[in-house]
């Protein structure tokens, strides 16, 4: 919920989400695909997302044109 709220603050709209695993204490990979967005907005949102306690790392960002 916190991730989607932060994305919304920067006008980043989510097109799809893939999440696998849900066991307590387990790392859960999360893949987000966004609608078209300004790269600066997305990068700003990611900087804040990286600071969340539950987020271990943002592994990659892939831009698709």
This prediction has a pTM of 0.81
User: Does residue 20 contact residue 28 with C-beta atoms inside 8 Å?
Assistant: yes
Least Cα distance to 15 among 41, 36, 38 occurs for 36
pLDDT in tens, 4-61: 999 999 999 999 999 887 766 678 888 999 999 999 999 999 999 999 998 989 989 9
Residue reference for tokens 């999360």: 30
Query: Which tokens hold the place of 65?
Result: 């044109």
- Cβ-count burial of 37 within 10 angstroms (0-12 exposed, 13-18 middle, 19+ buried)? middle
Distance CA 46, CA 58 (A): 8
């Amino acid at each position: 919920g916190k991730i989607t709220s932060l994305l919304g603050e920067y006008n980043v709209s989510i097109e799809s989400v893939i999440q696998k695993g849900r066991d307590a204490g387990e790392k859960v990979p999360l893949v987000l695909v966004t609608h078209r967005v300004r790269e600066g907005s997305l990068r700003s949102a990611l900087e804040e997302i990286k600071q969340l306690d539950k987020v271990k790392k943002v592994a990659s960002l892939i831009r698709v044109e």
